[in-house]
Structures are given as structure tokens and as C-alpha cells.
Amino acid sequence: MCGIVGYVGPQACADILVDGLRRLEYRGYDSAGLAVFDGKRTGVVRAVGKLQNLVNALKEKPLPGSLGIGHTRWATHGRPTEVNAHPHCSGEIALVHNGIIENHIELKRHLAEEGVKFSSDTDTEIVAHLIHREAKTGDDLLGAVRRALGHVHGAYAVAVMDARQPDRIVVAKNASPLVIGFGEGEMFCASDIPAILPYTKRMLPLEEGEIGVLTENGLELYTLDGKRVDRQPKTITWSASQAEKGGFKHFMLKEINEQPRAIEDTIRGRVDLAAGDVIESELGIDAETAKSLKRVYFIACGTSHHATLYGRFLMEHIAKVPSQTELASEFIGRDPVVGEGDLVVAVSQSGETLDTLAALKVAKEKGARILAVANVIDSAIPRAAHGAFYTHAGPEIGVASTKCFTTQLAAMVLLAVFLGRRRGTLEKERAQEILQNFVEIPNQMRTVLALDDIIRDLARPLAQAKSALFLGRGVSYPIAVEGALKLKEISYIHAEGYAAGEMKHGPIALIDADMPVIAVMPDDKAYEKIASNVQEAKAREGHVLAVATRHNADIGGIAHNAIYVPKVDPVLSPFVTALPLQLLSYFVADFKGTDVDQPRNLAKTVTVE
Ligand code: M6R
């Protein structure tokens, strides 16, 4: 998980590298470090904790020079200490790495037998020593890195410098992301596009098993077995300011507020209202395939998994196809019965989540058709799939997913209508109605965002809670579980999301005056039932906050407080009920003073199993 960045060109690079790391800090913030060649030797500065500690260390020990690499770490092997921080060095070699070297124990034993002394507990240091050993044979850095990686099993994106060849950085990728940025007389590399977006919009994501040499003159790209690769960079349309806070206190708050625009961008060009249809050419699903589908299988993790719970609801409701959803990590832990005739939809905002990628590969090997839903273009998951559906949320920097979640919900709507129309389970008139209501959703979301002051007031007492229960039924169940995840990950308050009908089977024992209950209960066919469940909680002194439909007169008698959302098509209510819960969690965390954008122990892109 970790972020890496590199620069070669005419400019002093320490500030460029730190700037890039600042945008990568969401990937991990246990330590950070830079290596910069100053014309004679490579200087290294590393610091434990947040990037600011590295900035302070660089004031004491500046690193002049125009060739450098940087790293921000999410610790896997070895505690978050300075010796375990990257870059790792061996002789003239300096290296940064994102990923996990699976055979590190065996490699370490061999190197130790050869007399190598280790100064860290990391798997990464081993790669630095391997390259150093290979570089001694006199080959250029590219050859040394290629041979060294030939001994390595596992996931890696690496950037490597050699003080004896100070005009180049060698980069390589296997299962961890790495993008190359093309400037004018300068070149960049980074784990993610926003890190280098202020410097160039011309980017080339590396593919699995590629290795390249960056010099001021450009990129020479090869496969690990030495074949020359000729691929051209693409122009990224995101603006650099989309990856900045834009006046908001936190990225998360900015991203919550961007949701109406993100949904509009995700719908744009894909909806044909007159035909009552969804136009999408990249799905890789023709009418025949849609008709003959035996089952839809969703795989995802975390918040993306919650989006797929809504996907399952829509598949059954609209496309009338048997559907199930699986946590990717559990899917790979079993022997899932999946194969020809099944559509497996792998959902991931980052497109890099290793559990989801591994599950996708299992399903693909068994013969299923794979569709990726991702936010990052050309990331690993869409590349491994037969077809891709991109959400257009723009860069999401806050570790807690918000706009990526609701754009995933939008993808679920579009996919269900697409399949429903081709399978003949959705009439044109109802499709037109759903799609018309759907294009109006961004404005309804704007109305909800305007409730922020009310929601802030309701969040204040919740900040004192030790625990909270989120309830939902039917289409609102995914929103309840997502609401609970949001609260726990950024405010560190324990929260459970439950299907309201399950309360009586156990969780109701938890209810007392100290247990806030947040009930997602829009005006739909589940309303009467969840209203009864909520009454049961209230009768046991639970303090109830309802997210309910405006003008619903009953709520006053059912809940202590309510957040009223506009009335929308009942199948689309998650778009308006998700937002109050995101804002509630945000304000609770802000009251508590936690690190909203970079909550403890988490990282934005989870590339470990
Ligand atoms: O990039 P992905 O969508 O595959 O990530 C999956 C989860 O790691 C992610 O949703 C995680 O749960 C977030 N912290 C949620 O806010």
C-alpha cells in the first residue's frame, strides 16, 4: 500500500517529490523518505510519521539535486521506524517500493549466506541488495534491476537510482500501480495520477511485468523478458485543482459536496431517455450474453461491497437475474461455484484492491465473464476484466470513500437498466421513468447537502457515544451498513449496520439509553416494517435518529430526531439517504478532532491480501 514518486530532469527535485508524496499520503503515512543525487553522491533523508516530519527533517538536511525518488509508507514488514522507512540503499543503489515481496525470507537467507548485512526488517531492503549484487557484474542499471526482479515473487512497483548512472531512474511494476508522467525535458513516476498531475497531464500507466528507464529524454519501455514495448501516453482530463481541497476543511467534506457533479459526470452520455435505455459500449456484454446470463456475482471490499448490495437489489428488482454479492477476501477463501454463463462484476474505486483482483482472477479462470466497475482508468482490475464501466467521480483523496461510493451506486443503476432492457424484464416506459428520475437525482442530492447545518447539530451529541446502531431494510440496508462503516472508520466510534428485521434475533439486547439508533427509513414498501422495528428500539430507551422522507407525518411519533430527504423514486432513495450519513460521520469525526482524511491504520488503496 505505500506511495512512490520519482523525478528526473533539470529542476531541483526535493520539493517536487515532497509535493507528490503529499498527494500520495492517503496510501500510507507511517513514515516517509527521499533519496536525491547531488552531483557526487545520493543523499537520503527519512522520518517516522506524517510527511510533515520529513519536511522538518529536510530543513535540517536539505537534499539538492535533480534526480530523486520518494516514498510514503504503510507498514507491512517491520514496524514504522526510521530504519524501516524507504528509500532503502545498498552501496550506490537507492530504491523505493510499493507492494510485498512474498519470498523475502528465502531471499534474505541466501543474501545473508553471501555475507550481506541488513539494516532494516523490511522485505524491500532485500531487493536493494539483490540489485546491488547484480549491478556489480558491470551491466547497466536496467539489466541489474531486471535480473534482480527475476528472483522476486510478489507484488511490486519500484523506482531505483544508481549514483554511478545519475541520469536515470529504472522503474518496474508487477501487481502494484505505477504511472509515468511525461514532461518537457523531464520525467516523473508515481503510484497514482494526482501525485504528478500539477506537472504534466501526459501519463502512461505501466502494465504488469513492464520495466522502463526514465531519463530527461523520455521513457524506454520493455517487458521483464527484454522485449521493447511501444505505447504512447494518454492525456488526463482531470485538473490538478480537482485533487486539491478547494476551500473545504477536509478532502472528505469537499468530496461529499462534489457528489451531485460526480453523478452527473457518471450518467453523462450514457442515458437515452427517448429509448429508455443505457448506452455503454465498453461493457463487453451484447444482447445475447445479457439474455443468457445465469447469474450475476458481485465481488468487492469495504464500501464498494456495500455498493454491490444495492447492485444485487437492482439486479433482482430490474433485471430479474439471480444475484449474489461476496466479500472478495471470502470469495477467494472458498471454492466458489462460478463459471460460464455467470457475469462477475468486480467493483473497486481504486481498481487496485488486491483481494478484489485475486477474486476476479479466480472467477476468470473458472470461465465467468468479468466486468469491472472502477474509478481509475486503466488500473489493474479493469485491465484484467473483459469489460469496464468507469465511474467518473474524479480523484478521491479522503481515505473514507464518499463520491466513489455514490458513483458506484449510479453504475449499479445503469447496469441494471442496461441488462433489464436487453433481457426484456424492464419495459420501455418504466425504464424511461427510472432514467428520468435518475437524471434528476443530482439536484435532489444538492437539496440534501444544504441540510449540513442541521446535520452538524445532530452530530454533536453523537460524538459522545461509545457505540451506535444503523438500521435499514430492503434498498436501505446497504446504506445502513455503509453509514456504520463511515462512522467507525473516521470517528473510531464502534458502529454496527444491521438489517432492521434482524434486530429481534439478537442485537436488540444492546439497546439502552446509551445506544443511539440511526434508522434509514425512506417512504417505500419497507417503511411500515422498519417503523415497527424502530418503535421496538425506542420502547427500550434507544435514542432514534431517522433519515426519512420529507412530509412523512408519522416520523414525529417514531423517532426523537429526523433528517428529511426529498421524495424520490423508491429504487433511487440510496442517493439521498447516503449523504446525511456521510455528513453525520464527518461532523462527528470533526467534533472529535480525529484525522478525517487519513484515519489511523487505514490506507486508500489496499494492495495487500
Ligand atoms: O478501492 P476499493 O473500492 O476496492 O477499496 C475497497 C475498500 O478498501 C474501501 O472501500 C474501504 O472500505 C474504504 N476505507 C471505505 O471508506
Map residue 266 onto helix, strand or coil.
helix
Task: Please tell me the distance from the alpha carbon of residue 305 to that of residue 312, in angstroms, as a whole number.
Answer: 10
The CA 142 to ligand 1 mean position distance, Å, reads 35
Task: Return the residue whose CA atom lies nearest to atom 8 of ligand 1.
Answer: 302
177 lines ligand 1 (CB under 6 A): no
- How many other β-carbons are positioned within 10 Å of the β-carbon of residue 241? 10
- Considering only CA atoms, which of 338, 266, 258, 247 is closest in space to residue 297? 338
606 lines ligand 1 (CB under 6 A): yes
Contact call for residues 464 and 515 (beta carbons, < 8 A): no
Q: Which residues of 582-602 are buried (b: 16+ CB within 10 A; e: fewer)?
A: bbbbbbbbbbbebebbbbeeb
Task: Please tell me the distance from the alpha carbon of residue 482 to that of residue 547, in angstroms, as a whole number.
Answer: 14
Task: Please tell me the distance from the alpha carbon of residue 216 to that of residue 538, in angstroms, as a whole number.
Answer: 67
The CA 77 to ligand 1 mean position distance, Å, reads 22
DSSP state at residue 475? G
Task: Return the residue whose CA atom lies nearest to atom 4 of ligand 1.
Answer: 348
Contact call for residues 255 and 398 (beta carbons, < 8 A): yes
301 lines ligand 1 (CB under 6 A): yes
Task: Return the residue whose CA atom lies nearest to atom 14 of ligand 1.
Answer: 400
490 lines ligand 1 (CB under 6 A): no
Cβ-Cβ contacts under 8 Å for 351 (sequence gap 6 or more): 372, 374, 375, 376, 379, 380, 381, 382
Strand order in the sheet with 516-521: 494-499, 467-472, 516-521, 543-549, 561-565
So what's the pLDDT on residue 594?
A: 95
- Considering only CA atoms, which of 167, 63, 153, 53 is closest in space to residue 106? 153
350 lines ligand 1 (CB under 6 A): yes
Our mutation pick for probing the ligand 1 site, out of 377, 401, 491, counting the most ligand atoms within 8 A of Cβ, is 401
399 lines ligand 1 (CB under 6 A): yes
The CA 401 to ligand 1 mean position distance, Å, reads 7
Residues with catalytic annotation? Answer: 2, 604
So what's the pLDDT on residue 269?
A: 82
The CA 602 to ligand 1 mean position distance, Å, reads 10
Our mutation pick for probing the ligand 1 site, out of 252, 306, 349, 607, counting the most ligand atoms within 8 A of Cβ, is 349
So what's the pLDDT on residue 241?
A: 65
Looking at the CA of residue 605, tell me the nearest atom of ligand 1.
Answer: 1
Q: What stretches in the chain show pLDDT beneath 50?
A: none
So what's the pLDDT on residue 8?
A: 98
Q: Which residue has the cell 457528489?
A: 259
Looking at the CA of residue 602, tell me the nearest atom of ligand 1.
Answer: 14
CA distance to 310, 342, 353, 603, per residue, from 381 (Å): 20, 18, 8, 18
408 lines ligand 1 (CB under 6 A): no
Looking at the CA of residue 302, tell me the nearest atom of ligand 1.
Answer: 12
Looking at the CA of residue 353, tell me the nearest atom of ligand 1.
Answer: 4
So what's the pLDDT on residue 95?
A: 98
Map residue 322 onto helix, strand or coil.
coil
So what's the pLDDT on residue 279?
A: 86
